[in-house]
Amino acid sequence: MRFEVSRVMDTVEQRLTTDITLAQAVVDLADVARFQELDGGRPVNLLRVGMVLDALAQYLLDGAAMLYPVAGRELISDQALTSKERMVLGRWLDSGRIEAVPMVGDRVIEVADFTGMPVIARRNYRQYADRFPWLGDSPERVLRLDRRPGKAVLIPGAEPDSAPTGNVRSVGRYATTAATPDTGDRVFQPRARQPQTRVSTRAIEPAASPSSLGATLLARSWRCSEDLCPSFGADRELGEPVPRLLKGVPSCPRHERPLTDAGSRPAEYPVAVVIEDTVRLRFPVTAAAPVHVGRDADISLKLWLHEGASSWIADRHLTLEIIDSGLVVTGVGENGTVVWHRGGPGEAGESVRLYEGQRYALGRHDSIELYTGVELVPGNRRVVGGPVSARDVLSVLADAPTVALRAHSS
């Protein structure tokens, strides 16, 4: 049992991040950990974050969906947590996978406002509608955390304990933290278009954008005066979170001290690996280094490839990198790579084939096809329109029997 719980915690850890390029929803961790009615177990239980990750994955139809958890001091120091949970929580805090704050207050809403990502909530945040009017105007940006037999669900725009609404709408967000041109400037444009071999059914649906204040803050890099700060320290390995605004001053959410402006923030793009319309993995492309993708590369796809795809796709099939703040793909494999260019969400698009050494600057709605059913979708968006059903989305709790939630492991 204990082994299984540890393994689940490790799996959960991979899906938590305060890198706003990768995160897809923000939540007050206490809201989740104290949702006792979810399983009828202990008053506080960290494993419930796994159930919420599953709910987010089901909601987004994205088996790699990532969560930005904020934890207040009252949760972190809660004596009702088991020693195992305190150890895990400490590790998550130190690595910057969750954000520690003295008081949560409106921080969760602030993160949502600055980034455009939705909020997962049990409690009502309407008291903050003065500072964040969208809480009243765009209630669908709050995903109400509720329970169904054996699982958690997310209901956009619903008041606490109200009946679920039938019409589920996307509340994803735009792709990048840096300003993205609407149409990609092509670095390379092949003269002859290849005939269209497959019309993608994929529609890529954006929703909320960062607020203008958020966009301004996100355009800069920030440093905390505490060198070892997991949020804004010099040694942080993850991409950056967003500052807390205290009395109008960009501040460290953890240490509540003013941050220094470390220059303009380099462009950074999230990319999702989509196999047969199911998101399997999400990774960032940063200015630090190009990312090679293929059967066996920085991002290795071989685990998910059937024989036909495996023999078509090269070990190193393509390279993604940042050039002039845009996301650029370079064909490497000899069989070529297809880019589907779309002027807007939901368009079928037109295809451009890249051969060795050919480059293409990806637009906001473009996707890359390495082989039929093996795609890269730039942008942190909900993928809709495919034949995916919730059944195709795997659970992070696959290894944890429900009884683990009730267990007093210590």
For Zn ion, give the closer residue by CB, 244 or 365: 244
Q: Give least dist CB 70 to Zn ion, A.
A: 14
Query: In the chain, helix, strand, coil percent, each to 5?
Result: 20, 25, 50
Is 361 in a helix, a strand, or coil? Answer: strand
Q: Give least dist CB 262 to Zn ion, A.
A: 13
Q: Give least dist CB 68 to Zn ion, A.
A: 16
For Zn ion, give the closer residue by CB, 48 or 255: 255
For Zn ion, give the closer residue by CB, 252 or 272: 252
Q: Give least dist CB 256 to Zn ion, A.
A: 8
Q: Give least dist CB 254 to Zn ion, A.
A: 5
For Zn ion, give the closer residue by CB, 252 or 320: 252
For Zn ion, give the closer residue by CB, 93 or 187: 93
Q: How wide is the angle at C-alpha 11 spanned by C-alphas 9 and 17, nearest 5°?
A: 90
Distances (CA, A) of 129 to 109, 160, 198, 390: 10, 16, 46, 33
Contact criterion met (CB below 8 Å) for 156 and 166 = no
**H helices then E strands: how many in the chain?**
10, 23
Q: Give least dist CB 234 to Zn ion, A.
A: 11
* Token code pair at residue 365: 């709605």
Q: Give least dist CB 142 to Zn ion, A.
A: 28
Q: How far is Cα 210 from Cα 112, in angstroms, rounded to an integer?
A: 8
For Zn ion, give the closer residue by CB, 71 or 322: 71
Largest CA distance in the chain: 67
For Zn ion, give the closer residue by CB, 228 or 288: 228
Q: How far is Cα 61 from Cα 87, in angstroms, rounded to an integer?
A: 31
For Zn ion, give the closer residue by CB, 102 or 290: 102
Instruction: Please compute, for residue 199, the number of CA atoms within 13 A of its CA located in the half-sphere on the CB side.
Output: 5
For Zn ion, give the closer residue by CB, 144 or 254: 254
Give which of 175, 161, 239, 179 is closest to 207, Cα–Cα.
175
146 phi, psi to nearest 5 deg:
-135, 175
Query: Which stretch of DSSP H or E encloses residue 50?
Result: helix 48-60
Contact criterion met (CB below 8 Å) for 352 and 194 = yes
For Zn ion, give the closer residue by CB, 259 or 329: 259
Contact criterion met (CB below 8 Å) for 274 and 376 = yes
Is the alpha carbon torsion for 384, 390, 391, 397 positive or negative?
positive
Q: How far is Cα 207 from Cα 117, in angstroms, rounded to an integer?
A: 9
Binding site for Zn ion (CB under 5 A): 224, 226, 229, 252, 254-255
For Zn ion, give the closer residue by CB, 30 or 224: 224
Q: Give least dist CB 236 to Zn ion, A.
A: 10
Is the alpha carbon torsion for 88, 70, 393, 290 positive or negative?
negative
Q: Give least dist CB 231 to Zn ion, A.
A: 5
Q: How far is Cα 305 from Cα 280, in angstroms, rounded to an integer?
A: 12
Q: How far is Cα 233 from Cα 252, in angstroms, rounded to an integer?
A: 10
Q: Give least dist CB 83 to Zn ion, A.
A: 26
Q: Give least dist CB 99 to Zn ion, A.
A: 10
Going by the DSSP 8-state scheme, the letter that residue 276 receives in this structure is: T
* Token code pair at residue 120: 């997962």
